[in-house]
Chains A and B, each alone.
Chain A
Amino acid sequence: MSNPHKSKNKDLPRWGMVIDLDRCVGCHTCEIACKIENDVPLGIWRSWVKEIEKGKYPNVVRSFRPTLCNHCENPVCVKVCPVNAAWQREDGIVMVDPHLCVGCRYCMSSCPYEVRYVHPTKGMIDKCDLCSTRVDAGLKPSCVEACPSSARVFGNLNDARSEVSKLVATKAVSTLKPEMGTGPRVYYIGLDPATMEIKREAKLVWEK
């Protein structure tokens, strides 16, 4: 009764993504493709590219960090959800069930990657679902499809011959915040640590 999302099928793939930042040019196309595909409201992103600038003119470089839900192996959001609305499919995609979600926002404040948001009209939590409907239809997620430099690679991590598995096996990949013990399944090649720096100041609610 308590968890309506249990199923026993073990022969499914484990979806994951590798983002090659040596190829990423910071064009933000993935961001726009995601917005179009998933009808994401204004002011909110399911997937976005954090962009930072390092150095002093004329010696300036930009680094990018495309961000999306990490579809963790051990997701915090699924653990903390009081009504089982955050759930994980057998193929690893972390989903939000709109019939169960009550919009308590506990998952938002518990997610170490801050990828969840409140949908302004539905009043419930929404996030990247790796374009699950496209994936079920045999297509790639729209951000992967749209990337002009093929920096995003999507595939089955259970299959040793897939491109993602080969990249994870052969390249020096890193994940975001491995110390949280969440086991992210979005891997980065050439991730700049400076894109993960925390700012000591924040804009407070009463300053807006």
Chain B
Amino acid sequence: MGKVVFDVQYQTTLAFLISYYFYCTGLSAGSFMISTLSYGFGMSKFKPASKMGVVAAVLLLLLAPQFLLMQVGWPIKSVWNHFVYFNPVSAMSYGAFLLMLYPMNSIVYGIFMFKGNMKMTKIFGLIGIPLALAVHGYTGWILALGVARDYWNTGLMPIVFLFSAMVSGISMMILLIMVRDRFFTKEKVINHELIDSLAKLLGWLLVVDLFLVFCDYSVLLYSKLEAQEVAHFMLFGKMSFWFVIVENLIGKVIPMVIVMIPGMRKSYFWLILAALMNMCGILAMRIVTVYGGQALPLM
């Protein structure tokens, strides 16, 4: 109704660096899950992916906090203060502990796996699963507890983050395993059975992910005014290209169709395309959620 003559623009705070941090922890958690499928849960068909998974998980989780440290104003002070001035009601307080515990556990798990100690591998793998869920679930949880933003403030947020983490982690694993098998093994033959079961898993996780997005948006569109505004901003406003086209169409729907059709799934060209599109789409999802969620002024 009114035309704004003067107002102060909010400094958008948690922008791209945080999106990259979420993306890296997501990839890490996803690849860790794949790696524990065989040792932790006895799904032996995923065994060739285990070592690759744990190496990728550790490396990505060493990379992820660097974005976080670049984002904060006082990086060294932040590490110290997080431990000394712990605030038990802040979601972010727990992140410092998780970001230390999870890579340490993954390294121990990886060492036992490479040494061939099956029993210890299973124990540390099973400890690692809740840690991996926590380290990525908590990134969604941080946003969910940022109560001012209706786009973030939903109990679905940690679950949406977990599913997008698994989806992007599997896509990355498909690509990494193809590269490893094709170029860095003696036989130079891609393990087709493994790739095919990962692709099937990717397809079903994408279905769940799309369902969660649908649930989230249907609630936003029926909810109070601010939620409706942000849903319109995402679906029809300036964010719509990134949300509708890049995140959901390119990142989720097209890869889902590709891996659901057996003929296309068997073709490496289509599968590589689907995995790449999905990884780009999940990166767009992080940016849309973190940046787009706070782009609208609140008052």
Cβ-defined contact, A123 with B225, below 8 A: no
Nearest residue, chain A, Cβ from B292 = A204
Q: Verify if A102 is at the interface (C-beta below 8 Å from B).
A: yes
Pick from B91, B93, B238: contact of A204, CB under 8 Å = B238
Contact B3 A52 (CB under 8 A): yes
Residue of A nearest to B3 (CB): A53
**B81 touching A102 by the CB < 8 A rule?**
yes
Cα(A199)–Cα(B81), bound, Å: 37
At the interface, yes or no: A143 with Cβ under 8 Å from chain B?
Answer: no
- B285-296 CB mask vs A (1 if < 8 Å, else 0) is 000000100111
Main secondary structure of the interface of B (DSSP, over half): loop
Across the A-B interface, how many residue pairs have beta carbons closer than 8 Å?
171
**Interface SS of chain A:** loop
* B88: Cβ under 8 A from any A Cβ: yes
Q: In the complex, which residues of chain B have a beta carbon less than 8 angstroms from the beta carbon of A123?
A: 73-74
Of the candidates B11, B71, B297, which one forms a contact with A202 in the assembled complex, judged by CB atoms under 8 Å apart?
B297
A1-33 toward B: CB 8 Å interface, digit per residue (1/0)?
111100000000000000000000000100000
With a 10 A CB-CB cut-off, give which of A53, A82, A111 has the most chain B CB atoms. A82
Residues of B within 8 A of A118 (CB): 11, 13, 73
Chain B residues in contact with chain A, CB under 8 A? 1-15, 71-75, 77-78, 81-82, 84-93, 95-96, 142, 145-149, 225-226, 229, 232-233, 237-239, 291, 294-299
B-side contacts of A4, CB under 8 Å = 85
Binding site for B on A (CB under 8 A): 1-4, 28, 44-45, 48-54, 62-63, 67, 76, 79-85, 100-106, 108-114, 117-118, 122-124, 176-177, 180, 192, 194-205
Given A50-B7, A103-B74, A108-B13, check contact A83 B82 (CB 8 Å): yes
Residues A109 and B89 in contact, CB atoms below 8 Å apart: no
Residues in B neighbouring A105, C-beta threshold 8 A: 13-14, 71-72
Are A194 and B89 also in contact (CB < 8 A) when A110-B147, A113-B298, A200-B229 are? no
Q: List 6 A-B contacts (CB under 8 A).
A: A76-B147, A104-B78, A109-B149, A114-B10, A180-B148, A198-B296
**Contact of A102 with B298 in the complex, beta carbons under 8 Å:** no
Given A102-B77, A106-B146, A197 contacting B2 (CB threshold 8 A): yes
Q: Which of B5, B88, B149: most chain A Cβ within 10 A? A: B5
Query: Are B237 and A200 in contact (CB-based, < 8 A)?
Result: yes
Complex formed: what's the CA distance from A1 to B87 in Å? 10
- Distance in Å from the Cβ of A2 to the closest Cβ of chain B? 5
Asked if A100 and B81 sit within 8 Å, CB to CB, the answer is yes
Q: Which residues of B contact A103 (CB under 8 A)?
A: 72-74, 78
CB <8 Å contact, A102 and B4: no
A41 CA / B4 CA spacing, docked (Å): 23
